[in-house]
Amino acid sequence: MSETLLAVLLVTSSAKGSSLVYQWPRSPKPQSRLSRPLPTHDVTCAQGDNPWRSANISGVPTSDDGGSCPGYDPEDEEDYIWQRPHTQRARSLSFSKSRSVPASRRASPSKGVDDAYTLDGARERAEEDAYECVLGYSVDTLAGMLCPTRAMCHQKFELVVDDLAFIGHPVCADADGGWRFSERARQPARGRGAKKGDTPQMEEKALEPGHPPPELQTFHFVLVLDLPDPSSSSAGNLSKYFDTIYEQIAFTVTAVLYQEQVMHNFVEEEAEALGALKEDFVRKGKSFEEYITDALQASPLALAMKTLYDAIKANSVARITIRDLPLELQLPPHLDSLLHVDEDADADIADQEDEYGAPNTWGRDISFAWRLPALTPWKALLKLDEEEELAYELYMKVKAPELPEEDRALAEQLIRFLNLANATISLTDVASFLDWDLESQVYPIVRWLVLHRRAKLVDVVHPRLKTIFAVPQKLPPDWLEEFTPEFDRTFGQSNVPSLPRLLSTISTSTHSKGANHFFATVVGSKELIDLYSDVVIWLLKRDLLITLHLRIRIVATEDLKERVRTHLEEARARRRRARARSHVHHDDDILDATGLNGTTGDFDEGLGLETVSESSPVANWLSMSPKSARRQSRQLPDSEKKNDSRGSFSTRRREHAHAHENVDVDAEELTSSGEEEFNNYYASVIADPARAKPLERRWLAAMSEGKDPDIARRFEKINQYFDGKCTDDEILFRADITRKELREVLHHYEEYLLTFLHPS
């Protein structure tokens, strides 16, 4: 919003009419727009632009002698060119000429009467315009436009006129003229204060006896924006831009002003004081500049408006006070990025996810357009300069005797946290030292400090400065002119290189063949660690340094693939030989079971024609003689044995088929990555080791052949994080290993690992 904010206005209405109470800055002006010039007629019409010539080619012929176009009337342009009302304002709208002019404004005796009148008239007209006009509109017209009817109050107000946008939340008194909280706001929450006799937490404070009833009917705190170019961003982003400004600034300020008006008649008193001051300055003939400046001393509301405007333009936190009520207001630091098409995608990604694609853990208040790093246990908290003041305030409150014991204990814990947290200790270590829960105790404090810009989340800095830094690709404009003098004042007496030279050394250190961390390239001596630690903190606070992290990828080399392929082919050959042997045994079983190996025996007898009967078995049994029946009964066990032999043959056949099925499934699993990948003889990267395919798992297992068993188990444990996304700090935290153990794995598996440095 620092790009688009033009002014902050306070408009009121009463029985006397609408009025502009105060504005800041003194003379707001919208940015100049690119305009298409009108074709002049002092030259031939042939020099007009193509659209003009196309529109007039049939009706207005051009002259061959270079003269002006026939039928052209210069007075026609007066109606064509639109000008704001104040440039041709009627004299009746001006102030009365009878007001006195200070002696210092009288014309010099050396000038003529006409010259003196011209100079004084121009000066008076400029002063009148300053009092009577703002943003090209008369004060009365603008005040009436920004004070809507009662039906349009107590809701969002958004008005776009030409290249200006007005955003606010107008509020009004009740129908009887009194200022009260709504019934919904005064009702206690369910389960709290619902008992009979309980008083509400917020009571409507009655005015003092003898105090006249309020005359204020409406007030409206308005933010005036220079309407962004519609072609610079999408319509959805522009609407989101306006909504954020309304929610964070306009609605919040209006809510506080409304509360103070209901309870203390604050807004009406401030409006009357500023109106009386303005009339006094007009009557005395003082300039508008003097009125605006003196109003800052006379009205705390005017001072709060100025502070808010300056903070928004500086993209910082506005710490204002409205009738003894402190208030901190701010807009997201990267809100203006919505107005630029090339940054829209980045802003949307940053709002929804963190750097690893996980849902944003910062919460709703500090998620949109903040572009914060992921809130993770391996990050560190860098306290800003104001944080020392906060720790001192907490310390003084702890010493206060009227502080309750519960609040005293909480304040003491906060002091311990602020004294312990720094850029060299991760958040998980802070939680461990304090014996706090990371999610429920540490993270809420971090969110509050970051939201109020009292701290920022950074990567952990090595205590001995063995951290690899780089210079950001994008730096703020005029950063060299802004930071170099401050850097010289802070470190000029300590033999530290100048800021440009220091950043140049840091930017080239990443390409050095030896050690490229900050200690080796810049510090060089243990005695200078404390001094350069302050230098690093100073640079990190101003976003002039970024930390580079080690990221790891796993590469399946050509030799590794050839070795795994050879093993797989040998295993397939063994399976083929085993399958061939099983086929031979299977054929022998069939021959034995069917009797085709040369012996007929009982199987032929069982299938002989004499055993076949067309009658039923019962009839055959009854028709047999006793001798034949006994012989038939002796033959029944033999037939059952034959059936058993057939059953065992079927069982062996099923087992044989099942064994072949297992072999086929195993072969299919090994080649599930595809025939092309199996036959790929070139080195390739295992993209996601945590979800490796069967063939990739074979590669990972082959990498550990001949390695130390402890190192191999450690590699098997942590290779899931070698996807090029996890940083070294995250690997150490998630795998619960030391940096030395990680270096051992990297050393033993060096031929299969690809390491590179990248910002977090």
**Token match 């003379």: residue?**
27
Tokens representing 28 are 């707001």
Distance CA 160, CA 226 (A): 10
Contact 291, 297 (CB under 8 A): no
In a domain, 72, yes or no: no
357 lies in the same domain as 399 = no
129 lies in the same domain as 263 = no
434 lies in the same domain as 382 = yes
Which tops the pLDDT comparison, 195 or 274? 274
In a domain, 273, yes or no: yes
| Per-residue pLDDT tens digits for 298-313 | 999 999 999 999 999 9
User: What average pLDDT is seen over the chain?
Assistant: 76
407 lies in the same domain as 479 = no
Q: Find residue 328's DSSP bridge partners.
A: 319
In a domain, 323, yes or no: yes
| Per-residue pLDDT tens digits for 183-202 | 655 555 444 444 444 444 44
Q: Residue 104: what pLDDT?
A: 37
Which tops the pLDDT comparison, 584 or 542? 542
Q: What angle do CA 562, 568, 571 make, to 5 degrees?
A: 140
Distance CA 50, CA 57 (A): 10
Of the candidates 584, 587, 582, 568, which has an alpha carbon nearest to the alpha carbon of residue 661?
Answer: 582
Please compute the mean of the pLDDT values over residues 284-295 and round it to a whole number.
89
Of the candidates 480, 458, 476, which has an alpha carbon nearest to the alpha carbon of residue 467?
Answer: 458
In a domain, 383, yes or no: yes
Please compute the mean of the pLDDT values over residues 600-625 and round it to a whole number.
45
Q: What is the DSSP letter of 522?
A: I
For 51-65, 84-98, 653-667, 719-733, which range has the lowest pLDDT when averaged over its residues? Answer: 84-98
| % of residues, the chain, pLDDT over 90 | 39
Which tops the pLDDT comparison, 117 or 409? 409
Phi, psi (deg, nearest 5) at residue 458: -135, 170
Q: Residue 395: what pLDDT?
A: 65
**Ranges of H-type helices in 595-723:** 601-606, 617-623, 626-670, 675-678, 694-703, 709-718
Between strands 5-14 and 216-226, the pairing is antiparallel
Distance CA 457, CA 446 (A): 8
Which tops the pLDDT comparison, 662 or 30? 30
Q: Residue 366: what pLDDT?
A: 79
575 lies in the same domain as 701 = no
Q: Which long-range contacts (CB under 8 A, 24 or more apart) does 710-715 make?
A: 711/744, 711/745, 711/748, 714/741, 714/744, 714/745, 715/745, 715/748, 715/749
168 lies in the same domain as 22 = yes
221 lies in the same domain as 316 = yes
651 lies in the same domain as 662 = yes
309 lies in the same domain as 253 = yes
Which tops the pLDDT comparison, 52 or 756? 756
In a domain, 380, yes or no: yes
In a domain, 286, yes or no: yes
b (16+ CB within 10 A) / e for 495-524? ebeebeebbeebeebeeeeeebbbbebbbe
Distance CA 96, CA 279 (A): 13
Q: Residue 239: what pLDDT?
A: 85
379 lies in the same domain as 366 = no
Which tops the pLDDT comparison, 365 or 561? 561
For 34-38, 324-328, 406-410, which range has the lowest pLDDT when averaged over its residues? Answer: 34-38
Q: Find residue 382's DSSP bridge partners.
A: 456
Work out how many domains the chain is built from and give that number.
6
In a domain, 14, yes or no: yes
From residue 390, alpha-carbon distances to 397, 411, 422, 423 in Å are 11, 11, 15, 18
State in Å, rounded, how far the first CA of the chain is from the last one.
Answer: 28
Please compute the mean of the pLDDT values over residues 282-296 and round it to a whole number.
89
Of the candidates 323, 187, 193, which has an alpha carbon nearest to the alpha carbon of residue 257?
Answer: 323
Domain, as residue range, for 495:
469-544
Q: Residue 576: what pLDDT?
A: 85
Work out the burial of residue 355: count CB atoms within 10 Å of its CB; fewer than 13 is exposed, 13-18 middle, 19 or more buried: middle
For 442-446, 465-469, 679-683, which range has the lowest pLDDT when averaged over its residues? Answer: 679-683
Q: Residue 571: what pLDDT?
A: 85
| Per-residue pLDDT tens digits for 9-67 | 999 998 888 899 999 988 888 877 665 555 555 544 555 556 655 665 554 445 545 44
Last residue of a domain, one of 400, 431, 459: 459
361 lies in the same domain as 412 = no
Last residue of a domain, one of 437, 459, 481: 459
**Would the pLDDT of 468 be above 50?**
yes
Tokens representing 221 are 């705190």
In a domain, 38, yes or no: no
Q: What angle do CA 391, 395, 396 make, to 5 degrees?
A: 120
379 lies in the same domain as 367 = no
Q: Residue 367: what pLDDT?
A: 74
Last residue of a domain, one of 459, 484, 516: 459
Which tops the pLDDT comparison, 3 or 75? 3
* Torsion on CA atoms 679, 680, 682, 685, rounded to nearest 10: -130
